[in-house]
Structure 1
Amino acid sequence: MGDQTLAGESNASGMHPDQATSRRMPVVCERFDDLGANGAPARLGIMGGTFDPVHIGHLACAEQVREAYGLDAVVFIPAGNPVFKRDRDITPASDRLAMCRLATESNPAFDVSSLEIERGGDTYTVDTLRELRAHYPDNVELVFITGADAVAKIFRWHESEAVAGLARFVAVTRPGYPLDDEMRATFEESPFTVEFLEITGLSVSSSDLRRRVSEGKSIRYLTMSRVRDYVCEHGLYRKEH
């Protein structure tokens, strides 16, 4: 976000304060807000999720899809109020957002957006895709990354027909959920553009990390060390929510 300085001072970039305060605030994220502004074709990967907490499985998935489909960037978008998780308490959005930033900051192709959190209300994929589509020029292709188990239910998503026209979908395999011909055939006559990608299986889940912390067990190597430190420092997951 824009830096603020005292009157008469220059900021770290050497800009005068008047210039710094007039700097446009990012709509989506800091690193890739202007993706496609030069008119060249670009691909933006979208990783949505609760990220409670973010872990190595999320990161490995995003990186493998980025390489396989030549994505120029991947933006992680923590959910604000996910409709499908109303039955349990969720860690405050500010903590989940902070952990995502810590986990992704070392990868120049990754960034994090607070778009869904700032929107408020229930979180629906269609609303997020509409905001992204309105922000980025037409030369930027939106590539929504999701699990094969989740994409199997895509026809029941809120305003699914609208979702189909807003992005291309990459469905990745997860441990214990192999792809089959029947699932692939489901999308052949549908309005959705869905491609399937088998990725290196990492049997890690956010629920398992929360459980391990609540039981006093280590989550070292299951998430980035910075995220692990954040969990410890803020006393997250000490008791199951």
Structure 2
Amino acid sequence: MGRGPDPGVSRSERRIGILGGTFDPPHEGHLMAARESAAAFSLERVLFVPTGQPWQKDDYSDPEDRFMMVVLATSTDPLLAMSRIELDRSGLTYTVDTLEELRRFYGDDARFYFILGADAALNLGTWVGLDRLAALTDIVAVARPGSDLAGLGGGEAWPEIHRLDVEGLDVSSTALRERLRRGEDLGPHVPAPVAAYIAARSLYLGK
């Protein structure tokens, strides 16, 4: 697997979805958000970008464990790819830096769609470099039908924001970690290879 900004997507592909997150662990909700976004916006590929050292979080699993879980979650679907661009960057992780690096790689003709959940979308106003994001990407705010996204966006400094309602997004990484702490099964919420990796590595039992 390459170590450039995007080992899985060719330069000829011009509509690229980017799904960032800690993926701690990756779950079916992440995969559903990626696939539904691809269908809604005619994306050639959705690039999963696990965060390295998130500036808004400080309690997360080893980056290499998260990397391997994303590989296992995405490897059987040709629509999905993953990148180590943030894992291999030293220091704090800012989305705007990642998008600027991807822009240099793809050139100005590529159109990016940065995919994120409703809660993260509502916090966009706190992100570093928000004014620069507007020149780099559209935002896809994936939400459960009926979710309140009032107040999202506003002003020229914000990227273009698209709301995408997706059924079945009730799963979260936080809830899955709590299930494991209680000794409960993950059920259908994570791909089988990811569940097997978590069990083999005894992840989350003490977190």
Shorter-chain TM-score above 0.5: yes
From 105, 114, 117, the equivalent of 2:84 is 114
Paired position in structure 1 for 2:172: 205
C-alpha deviation, 1:164, in angstroms: 1.3
Identity of aligned residues (%): 36
Equivalent-residue separation in structure 2 for 1:163 and 1:139 (angstroms): 16
Measured in 2, the distance between the counterparts of 1:228 and 1:105 equals 15
Q: Match for residue 19 of structure 2?
A: 47
The whole-number CA distance in structure 2 between the counterparts of 1:166 and 1:234 is 38
**For 1:148-227, what aligned pairs fall within 5 Å after superposition?**
148-174=118-144, 178-180=147-149, 182-183=150-151, 186-187=153-154, 190-227=157-194
After superposition, the C-alpha distances for 1:127-158 in whole angstroms (9 at most, x for unaligned) are 10111001102221111001222222222210
Stretch of structure 1 that moved more, 137-146 or 42-51? 137-146
Larger Rg: 1
Distance 1:72 1:53 in 2: 25
Equivalent residue for 1:96, pick from 44, 53, 66: 66
Q: How does 1:11-22 map to 2 (within 5 A)?
A: none
Conserved? CA contact 2:143–2:166, under 8 Å: yes
Alignment check: 8 A CA contact 1:187 1:193 kept: no
Structure 1 counterpart SS, 2:96: helix
CA distance in 1, matches of 2:165, 2:142: 6
Could you tell me which amino acid in structure 2 is paired with residue 77 of structure 1? V
Worse overlay, 120-129 or 142-151:
142-151
Q: TM-score, normalised by structure 1?
A: 0.81
Partners of 1:218 and 1:178 in 2: CA distance: 28
Structure 1 counterpart SS, 2:16: strand
2:48 corresponding residue in structure 1? 76
Instruction: Please state how far the C-alpha of 1:189 moved relative to its aligned partner.
Output: 5.1
Counterparts of 1:218-237 in structure 2, within 5 Å, are 218-237=185-204
Secondary structure at 1:85 match in 2 = coil
Q: CA RMSD in A?
A: 1.8
Instruction: Tell me the number of residue pairs that the alignment of Structure 1 and Structure 2 aligns.
Output: 207
Gaps of 5+ in 1: 2-24
Q: Secondary structure at the match of 1:45?
A: strand
Q: TM-score, normalized by length of structure 2?
A: 0.93
Deviates more, 1:225-234 or 1:207-216: 207-216
CA distance in 2, matches of 1:197, 1:50: 21
**Mean Cα displacement is larger for which, 201-210 or 104-113?**
201-210
2:48–2:81 contact (8 Å) kept in structure 1: yes
Which protein has greater RCO, CA pairs closer than 8 Å, 6+ apart?
2
